[in-house]
Amino acid sequence: MFEEIKINNEYKYYNGHEWKHSSVFEKIEIKSPVNSSIVGMIQNCNEEELKEVVENLKKGQKIWASTTIDERANILKKASQIMQTHTETISDFLLKEIAKPKKEAVDEVIRSAQITRFTGETIRNLEGIYLESGVFYNTKNNKKCLVKHIPIGIVLGIAPYNYPVNLSCSKIAPALAGGNAIILKPPIIGCISALHLVQCFIKAGLPKGVIAVVSGDPKKIGDILAPHKDISAISFTGSTSTGKQIAKIAGIKKLIFELGGKGSAIALNECNIEKTAKEITTGAFSYSGQRCTAIKRLFVQNKIADKLILLLKQETRKLSVGWDPLINQITPLVGLKHAEFVEDLITDAKEKGAHVIMGGTRNGNLIEPTIIVKVSIDMKIASVEQFAPVLPITCFETLDEVIKLVNQSEYGLQSSVFTQDIDKAFYVAERIQTGTMNINCSPSRGPDNFPFLGIKNSGIGVAGIKESILEMTKEKVIVIRTL
């Protein structure tokens, strides 16, 4: 099924009509973060090829927009089935490209299949609005208003390396459900996994000119496609700095951005300390902390600090650490440069008085699970998003104190509070400035039918199944005057 997306070890791009080689001679090598072996080569699309893709999708989108809801839903269901059939193939590339542990790689593909199926089911039940006039002073009841959802046009989807299948799928499925065409720009690291995903949608029966996937230099592609007059919406997941640059050049169009985060966990004296330790360990260290929703800072109330930190060390020691994603839970970060950046954060914290009580060492791009205590606001690790298996811990005394500390962050994606006191839980949850506040559970992007959003420098717009469809459509208002 995947034979046509490559020749030997060189993967093509899809221009909306066919899988093609770019005319640019120099291809991009994808190297495994595990052993630096070459996973494959991808295309480096040029400006003419990118503009051709837009033209192809302009024509195809009009045809796709005229299809019935049933036709779209059936294709999404078929794509979901194909994904699940090829879970092993796609998940194996996640192991090779981004060193994702085996279980998490399989889960990502299955979750993507479920998102696709559920999106198709949701579009069947998306309702319009009927309104009547005569509700205001001195108006007559002689107008009827119909509001329906129509396609927005061509969506540019830009996905990150940490979830190249799942976060590509969460853009593709709602875009297609809404009657749009979509151009996917996968990350360079993780691109091959995303190419396999796109082939699942093509093989499900999508007409030509409805989906495309381009690869190459991210800045070049962004500079050409983001401001393009025929791109109606941009769905981007990535760093805040890149999001700001896209917004600067995009012009007037719909922006749906999932950006950085500095998710805080707050453990209060009344928490179930054993369960809290397990939740925080999972939240901080799954996929080596390379998640926007990972717990990136822990605040512990003084009374329970010593006991909780001891339990965290015990839970963290259970994690297997190594280079092999087939057997290890903590695997190498995707790049050496980022691992060196994380090492610098740890060094800065130690130089300013923090204590590393576990881990703290780097072997190439493999960072040991690290716990740092006595972290203060002047340390970089307190405010910078580490995107690594590093947990900084700060102790506090009062609720208002910790609320102030958490809200100093420039980010506002997700946070958590752990306590058995429901009054304190809501007191904290209602005052923390994040898109989502979790009570007695670690932050997460799912379940995918929940709204997912960030405030401040963590994002624009709302994700989720229904929410993403609404973000990728627009309202059409029809007013009828009656006698």
Query: Do residues 17 and 157 both lie within one domain?
Result: yes
Radius of gyration of the chain (CA): 24
Query: Do residues 90 and 146 both lie within one domain?
Result: yes
Query: Do residues 251 and 269 both lie within one domain?
Result: no
Task: Specify the CATH number for the domain of residue 57.
Answer: 3.40.605.10
Query: Do residues 421 and 470 both lie within one domain?
Result: no
Check pLDDT > 90 for residue 359: yes
Distance CA 76, CA 204 (A): 7
Query: Do residues 212 and 90 both lie within one domain?
Result: yes
Under a CB-based contact definition with an 8 Å cutoff, are residues 477 and 180 in contact? no
Query: Do residues 330 and 408 both lie within one domain?
Result: yes
Tell me the β-bridge partners of 151.
473
Query: Do residues 129 and 229 both lie within one domain?
Result: yes
Among residues 258, 385, 467, 471, the one annotated as catalytic is 258
Check pLDDT > 90 for residue 384: yes
Among residues 45, 169, 271, 292, the one annotated as catalytic is 292
Residue type, 396: F
In a domain, 183, yes or no: yes
In a domain, 454, yes or no: no
In a domain, 425, yes or no: yes
482 Cβ neighbours under 8 A, 6+ residues apart: 142, 143, 144
In a domain, 250, yes or no: yes
In a domain, 330, yes or no: yes
Tell me the β-bridge partners of 14.
19, 213
Query: Do residues 241 and 376 both lie within one domain?
Result: no
Query: Do residues 254 and 272 both lie within one domain?
Result: no
Look at residue 45 in the predicted model and tell me its pLDDT.
98
Over residues 348-366, mean pLDDT: 97
Percent of all residues in the chain with a pLDDT value above 70, rounded to a whole number: 100
Look at residue 302 in the predicted model and tell me its pLDDT.
98
Look at residue 483 in the predicted model and tell me its pLDDT.
78
Look at residue 124 in the predicted model and tell me its pLDDT.
96
C-alpha closest to that of 362 among 393, 326, 388? 388
Look at residue 36 in the predicted model and tell me its pLDDT.
95
Q: What is the pLDDT of residues 105-162, one digit of tens each?
A: 999 999 999 999 999 999 999 999 999 999 998 889 999 999 999 999 999 999 999 9
In a domain, 144, yes or no: yes
In a domain, 455, yes or no: no
Residue 271 known to be catalytic: no
Look at residue 395 in the predicted model and tell me its pLDDT.
98
Residue 292 known to be catalytic: yes
Look at residue 57 in the predicted model and tell me its pLDDT.
98
Q: What is the pLDDT of residues 156-204, one digit of tens each?
A: 999 999 999 999 999 999 999 999 999 999 999 999 999 999 999 999 9
Considering the entire predicted model, what is its pTM? 0.96
Band of pLDDT at residue 235, cut at 50, 70 and 90: very high
Under a CB-based contact definition with an 8 Å cutoff, are residues 444 and 463 in contact? no
Parent domain of 403: 264-447
Look at residue 138 in the predicted model and tell me its pLDDT.
87
Q: What is the pLDDT of residues 56-73, one digit of tens each?
A: 999 999 999 999 999 999
Distance CA 373, CA 393 (A): 5
Query: Do residues 215 and 106 both lie within one domain?
Result: yes
Look at residue 139 in the predicted model and tell me its pLDDT.
87
- Per the structure, the count of domains in the chain is 2
Under a CB-based contact definition with an 8 Å cutoff, are residues 166 and 94 in contact? no
In a domain, 483, yes or no: no
Query: Do residues 221 and 344 both lie within one domain?
Result: no
Distance CA 347, CA 351 (A): 6
Task: Specify the CATH number for the domain of residue 408.
Answer: 3.40.309.10
C-alpha closest to that of 64 among 162, 211, 242, 251? 211
Check pLDDT > 90 for residue 446: no
Query: Do residues 244 and 147 both lie within one domain?
Result: yes
Q: Looking up tokens 């791109």, which residue turns up?
A: 231
Check pLDDT > 90 for residue 440: yes
Over residues 412-435, mean pLDDT: 98
